Chain A
Amino acid sequence: GAVVSQHPSWVICKSGTSVKIECRSLDFQATTMFWYRQFPKQSLMLMATSNEGSKATYEQGVEKDKFLINHASLTLSTLTVTSAHPEDSSFYICSARITRVSYNEQFFGPGTRLTVL
Chain B
Amino acid sequence: SQQGEEDPQALSIQEGENATMNCSYKTSINNLQWYRQNSGRGLVHLILIRSNEREKHSGRLRVTLDTSKKSSSLLITASRAADTASYFCATVPLSGGYNKLIFGAGTRLAVHP
Contacts and interface: CB of A to CB of B under 8 A. Distances in A.
Contact of B104 (A43, A105, A106, A107): A43
A32 interface: yes
B100 interface: yes
Interface stretch (B38-46, B67-75, B77-85): B38-46
Contacts of B102: 46
A10 to B, nearest CB: 9
B30 A42 contact: no
A67 interface: no
Contacts of B100: 46, 49, 104
A28 interface: no
Contacts of A32: 99
A91 interface: yes
Contacts of A111: 40-42
Given A32-B99, A43-B105, A49-B100, A103 B42 contact: no
Interface residues of B, number: 25
A8 B36 CA distance: 22
Contacts of A97: 99
B48 A105 contact: yes
A112 to B, nearest CB: 10
A91 B40 contact: yes
A64 to B, nearest CB: 17
Nearest to B106: A43
Those 3 A-B pairs whose CB atoms lie nearest each other, nearest first: A108-B43, A110-B42, A108-B42
